[in-house]
Structure 1
């Protein structure tokens, strides 16, 4: 489960960075924040 959370968090953060690069600033920031919240090091929504 922890590995899945890490993978999901990494994918969300990368998608957020790509969104910011493409000019979708708000969507990119939202994806990065969600990725940090989902990750095991953050405030996991699954705990």
Structure 2
């Protein structure tokens, strides 16, 4: 399960960075924050 969450978090963060480069600042920041909240490392909403 942790591996799947890690993959989802990586995809979300990469999509957020790509959105920032396209000029979609708000969407990019939201995707990065959600990716960090889902990921098993650091802060995760699933570890609480």
- How many residue pairs get matched? 47
Aligned to 1:39: 39
Gaps of 5+ in 2: none
**Deviant stretches of 4+, over 6 Å:** none
Q: Deviations over 1:1-47 (max 9, x none)?
A: 00000000000000000000000000000000000000001332333
TM-score under structure 1 normalisation? 0.90
Gaps of 5+ in 1: none
Could you say what the CA RMSD is over the residues aligned between the two structures, in angstroms?
0.9
Aligned to 1:4: 4
TM-score under structure 2 normalisation? 0.89
